[in-house]
């Protein structure tokens, strides 16, 4: 039986997610409804993607009895309220990253998911790419020996997006771009919390634009990352072990190429049926399939991107924001 | 008239420097003598490179009246005493990097050079590569607009070198490998001192192996570097400006390729007449020619790698070592 999706938010990322869903078998994934703050937006989205139901409020989507799981693609500051709305309505949830603006909000979301006994996952799509699965396999089999260092660089000018220029809309590099670097490092270091974090950033009007971070882990392991939402960077990563090296040569947030000790392998993505908002958007198909598999098994969280992984990321984001001097209104609640 | 060189130290780096000198016109550069702690070592070196005079002590080289300038290629802890020996003997000096073990030693060396009115330069050979000259030209002409970020990564396993495993021989990544990252960043940021430095490192037996550093500069500029003397890294760099990007795709310590806004240019090195100890060793020819030009003009320091540049590097090395927890015996003097 198909997993029946509801789409919350009719913006760019919801567009890509819906396109990605349609690269999967129709018998497995079905988009039942879309909701936006304005009915016209939802109707336009529904028409474009041939979705039968369009709602002008998230509450209507929450009340729809034919939805198995809601994809939340609204902007960051609304993740918290949307997650609470859908979990309280007993809907399973896949919510875009960052799961929320800070650790407090993340804890409240996870508590609500637990209380309501629903599945919930932060949509860290990167982790479900075949290239990421291969990285975890290589690490688990100790193909690199002991990992000593991870270096990640991700920067993309996002100032064309209104949400990336206004603090109240959740603008900020750490939670938007940096989260990809942190999730990569945290994946390699198996969900471990670093022993120390040192971060320095450049801010304009209280919004962090470019940030450099060095993190030390147990057993003499190091991680370094650079992220920016105003500069185009190389967007690559390297994992250096005592016996070998994995390089992600480009698009580290959506990896389709791996270089393992000099041997390069491609992991191509399917073509989209409509133009995408963001590069490699069809790669969201893998997280969607993960959600389906978890729901089929009755799981309430994914082992690959678990609740504690979200808690870890939010904690890193909070600490780095603190060091760089970035405060959101949500922090004072 | 040829610049008459004396070579102090008959090890690997002196070998490469001598090979590099011979890629330049014989009418411009001549190696007159070599000195080592043991006469046999000097004689063997002299025979291999067809040098007429071999000395079993540095003092004899200092007394040789036919030497215009001494290249100091001994291990780091001996730079200080060797620099003082030759400057006090009124010899001009090109001394390998790091110029000394800490800022105090660097200041004493520079004071001695000034007092004796001789030329002295830290052998930061990288700065004189044609690719480095081109980087400075592009930056000076504002081809990148305002530079916002520099990221450098340099790591090479050096544990096969005895000097890189023993503290008393000057082992340590920051002063040996990190100095290349720092000189690159300092060159791009025009000799400016950073406003803040945050460094974290992995040490074994008090020797720093792998280090990550984030430095903040005036006018909202950032630099991030990762260095290691135990791990093979990508050894590249990126300079990101408001209007363009320069990439050094590999061998950042001895750059022969530049990628300027996607346009790649090669700067090939001449072939060595003997096998080299280190990759791209013939690239030391450019610093040798800089020394010759400075001497011909009667200069006491190079504008490209000045005394204040050496003071800056030593200060950065001291601060990063302090944060990482690396102390040399020279620090307590």
Are residues B240 and A231, on separate chains, in Cβ contact within 8 Å? yes
pLDDT of residue A100 exceeding 90: yes
Segments making up each domain of chain A, as ranges: 3-125, 130-266+306-332
Residue-wise pLDDT tens digits, B82-135 = 999 999 999 999 999 999 999 999 999 999 999 999 999 999 999 999 999 999
Are residues A231 and B212, on separate chains, in Cβ contact within 8 Å? no
**Is cis: bond before B2, omega within 30 of 0?**
no
Q: Which residues of A touch B155 (CB under 8 A)?
A: 149, 240
| Interchain CB contacts (distance < 8 Å): A and B | 99
Q: Which residue of A has its CA nearest to B221?
A: A202
How distant is the Cα of B200 from the closest Cα of chain A, in angstroms?
7
Q: How far apart are CA B69 and CA B67, in angstroms?
A: 6
Q: Are strands B237-241 and B245-248 parallel, antiparallel or unpaired?
A: antiparallel
Interchain CB contact of A194 with B (< 8 Å): no
CB B133 within 8 A of CB B302: no
Q: Which residues of A touch B224 (CB under 8 A)?
A: 212, 224, 226
How distant is the Cα of A182 from the closest Cα of chain B, in angstroms?
16
Q: Which residue of A has its CA nearest to B228?
A: A149
Residue A79 token pair:
């993740």
- Averaged confidence pLDDT in chain B: 97
pLDDT at B164: 87
The CA-based dihedral angle spanning residues A193, A197, A199, A205, taken in that order and rounded to the nearest 10 degrees: 60
Selected residue of A159, A178, A234, A242 to mutate for chain B interface (largest B Cβ count, 10 A): A234
- Averaged confidence pLDDT in chain A: 97
Interchain CB contact of B148 with A (< 8 Å): yes
Q: How far apart are CA A153 and CA A233, in angstroms?
A: 7
pLDDT at A159: 87
On the CB side of A158, CA atoms within 13 Å amount to 26
Q: Which residue of B has its CA nearest to A221?
A: B202
Interchain CB contact of A322 with B (< 8 Å): no
pLDDT at A205: 93
Are residues A232 and B245, on separate chains, in Cβ contact within 8 Å? yes
pLDDT at B159: 87
Are residues A240 and B155, on separate chains, in Cβ contact within 8 Å? yes
pLDDT at A164: 87
Residue-wise pLDDT tens digits, A186-221 = 999 999 999 999 999 999 999 999 999 999 999 999
Residue-wise pLDDT tens digits, A41-57 = 999 999 999 999 999 99
Selected residue of A144, A150, A151, A199 to mutate for chain B interface (largest B Cβ count, 10 A): A151
pLDDT at A2: 97
CB A31 within 8 A of CB A21: yes
- Of chain B, the end-to-end C-alpha distance in Å amounts to 42
Single pTM value for the model: 0.97
Are residues A202 and B212, on separate chains, in Cβ contact within 8 Å? no
Interchain CB contact of A158 with B (< 8 Å): no
CATH 3.30.360.10 is right for the domain spanning B130-266+306-332: yes
Selected residue of B144, B145, B150, B198 to mutate for chain A interface (largest A Cβ count, 10 A): B198
pLDDT of residue A9 exceeding 90: yes
Interchain CB contact of B222 with A (< 8 Å): yes
Interchain CB contact of A221 with B (< 8 Å): yes
Q: In what order do the strands lie in the sheet with B245-248?
A: B196-204, B207-217, B221-228, B147-155, B237-241, B245-248, B257-260, B263-266
B139: part of which helix (H) or strand (E)? helix B130-140
Describe the crossing of helices A307-324 and A103-115 by its angle, rounded to 10 degrees.
160
| CA-angle at B194, arms to B190 and B198, nearest 5° | 140
B96: part of which helix (H) or strand (E)? strand B92-96
Residue-wise pLDDT tens digits, A240-295 = 999 999 999 999 999 999 999 999 999 999 999 999 999 999 999 999 999 999 99
pLDDT tens by residue, chain B, 333 residues: 999 999 999 999 999 999 999 999 999 999 999 999 999 999 999 999 999 999 999 999 999 999 999 999 999 999 999 999 999 999 999 999 999 999 999 999 999 999 999 999 999 999 999 999 999 999 999 999 999 999 999 999 998 888 888 999 999 999 999 999 999 999 999 999 999 999 999 999 999 999 999 999 999 999 999 999 999 999 999 999 999 999 999 999 999 999 999 999 999 999 999 999 999 999 999 999 999 999 999 999 999 999 999 999 999 999 999 999 999 999 997
Q: Are strands B29-35 and B53-55 parallel, antiparallel or unpaired?
A: parallel
Selected residue of B144, B208, B214, B325 to mutate for chain A interface (largest A Cβ count, 10 A): B214
In terms of Cβ atoms closer than 10 Å to its own Cβ (0-12, 13-18, 19+), residue B294 is buried
Q: Is there a shared CATH topology between the A3-125 domain and the A130-266+306-332 domain?
A: no
Q: Which of B221, B228, B238 sits opposite A233 (nearest CB)?
A: B238
pLDDT at A321: 98
Q: Which option is the CATH number for B3-125: 3.30.505.10, 3.20.20.140, 3.40.605.10, 3.40.50.720? A: 3.40.50.720
Helix (H, G, I), strand (E, B) or coil at A17: helix
The CA-based dihedral angle spanning residues B302, B305, B306, B310, taken in that order and rounded to the nearest 10 degrees: -150
Closest CA to A4 of A66, A46, A91, A47: A66
Are residues B212 and A232, on separate chains, in Cβ contact within 8 Å? no
Closest CA to B231 of B323, B164, B311: B164
Quickly state the pLDDT bin for A183 (edges 50, 70, 90).
very high
CB B211 within 8 A of CB B199: yes
Q: Which residue of A has its CA nearest to B219?
A: A202
Q: Which residue of A has its CA nearest to B210?
A: A222
Interchain CB contact of A260 with B (< 8 Å): no
CA-to-CA dists, residue B242 to A207, B138, B139, B141, B239, angstroms: 18, 13, 12, 13, 10
């Amino acid at each position: 039986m198909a997993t029946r999706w509801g789409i919350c938010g009719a913006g760019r990322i919801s567009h890509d997610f819906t396109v990605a869903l349609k690269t999967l078998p129709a018998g497995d994934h079905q988009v039942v409804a879309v909701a936006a703050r304005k009915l016209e937006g939802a109707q336009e989205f529904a028409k474009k993607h041939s979705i039968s139901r369009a709602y002008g409020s998230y509450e209507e989507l929450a009340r729809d009895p034919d939805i198995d799981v809601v994809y939340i693609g609204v902007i960051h500051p609304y993740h918290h309220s949307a997650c609470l709305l859908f979990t309280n309505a007993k809907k399973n949830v896949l919510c875009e990253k960052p799961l929320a603006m800070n650790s407090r909000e993340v804890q409240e979301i996870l508590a609500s998911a637990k209380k309501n006994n629903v599945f919930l996952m932060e949509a860290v799509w990167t982790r479900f790419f075949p290239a990421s699965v291969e990285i975890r396999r290589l690490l688990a089999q100790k193909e690199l020996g002991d990992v000593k260092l991870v270096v990640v660089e991700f920067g993309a000018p996002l100032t064309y997006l209104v949400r990336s220029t206004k603090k109240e809309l959740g603008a900020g590099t750490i939670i938007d771009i940096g989260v990809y670097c942190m999730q990569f490092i945290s994946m390699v270091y198996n969900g471990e919390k670093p022993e120390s974090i040192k971060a320095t950033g450049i801010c304009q009007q209280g919004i962090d634009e470019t940030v450099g971070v060095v993190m030390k882990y147990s057993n003499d392991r190091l991680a370094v990352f650079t992220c920016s939402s105003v500069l185009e960077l190389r967007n690559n990563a390297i994992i250096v072990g005592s016996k070998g090296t994995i390089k992600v040569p480009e698009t580290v947030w959506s990896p389709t190429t791996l270089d393992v000790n000099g041997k390069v392998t491609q992991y191509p993505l399917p073509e989209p049926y409509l133009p995408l908002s963001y590069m490699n958007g069809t790669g969201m198909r893998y997280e969607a399939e993960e959600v389906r598999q978890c729901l089929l098994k009755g799981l309430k969280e994914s082992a690959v991107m678990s609740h504690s992984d979200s808690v870890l990321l939010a904690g890193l984001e909070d600490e780095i924001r603190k060091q760089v001097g970035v405060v959101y209104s949500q922090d004072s609640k």
